[in-house]
Amino acid sequence: QVQLVESGGGSVQAGGSLRLSCAAFGYTYSFYSLYQMAWFRQAPGKEREGVAVINRDGSTTYADSVKGRFTISQDNARNSLYLQMNSLKFEDTAMYYCAADRRALPLHRKLAATEYTYWGQGTQVTVSS
C-alpha cells in the first residue's frame, strides 16, 4: 500500500512562488512500480482538475492553464514528488493533491482524476490578488 503526504502549501501574493512536496511511503518496490505521479487541484465549488503529470521515464504533461509557470519533478531516491509554482495567480487558489497510479495511462487520460488510485490528503494554496 502506498501513502502520499503533501506539504509546502501556504498563502502568497499574486506573482509569487511556492514549492509543493509529496512524500510517498510504503515498500520501495511499491514506489518504483508507480508509473505515473501527478498533481491535481480543487477549488471550492469546482471539480478536481489535473495540473501536471510525470511518468517514471521523466516525461511530463501539463494543463494549459499552468504551462510555463509550474514545473513537476520527482526524486526517486527520496520517494518524493515536487511542484514548483511560479508567477502564481489568484485563480491558482485551491487544495492541491498528490496522486499516483501504477498504470501507463494514455495521453488523453493522464490528467483525469478518476484514473488515479493513490491520493494524498491535500495541501492548501491561497493566492491573494
Count Cβ atoms within 10 A of the Cβ of residue 14 and give its class: 0-12 exposed, 13-18 middle, 19 or more buried. Answer: middle
pLDDT, tens only, 62-91: 999 999 999 999 987 778 999 999 999 999
pLDDT, tens only, 84-123: 999 999 999 999 999 999 888 999 999 999 999 999 999 9
Residue 28 has pLDDT above 90, yes or no: no
From CA 69, how far away is CA 86, in angstroms rounded?
5
User: Sorting pLDDT into bands at 50, 70 and 90, what band is 57?
Assistant: confident
Contact (Cβ atoms closer than 8 angstroms) between residue 82 and residue 23: no
Chain center to CA of 23 = 11
Contact (Cβ atoms closer than 8 angstroms) between residue 99 and residue 40: yes
From CA 109, how far away is CA 107, in angstroms rounded?
5
Beta strands in 26-122 (DSSP E): 36-42, 49-55, 60-62, 70-75, 80-85, 94-101, 118-119
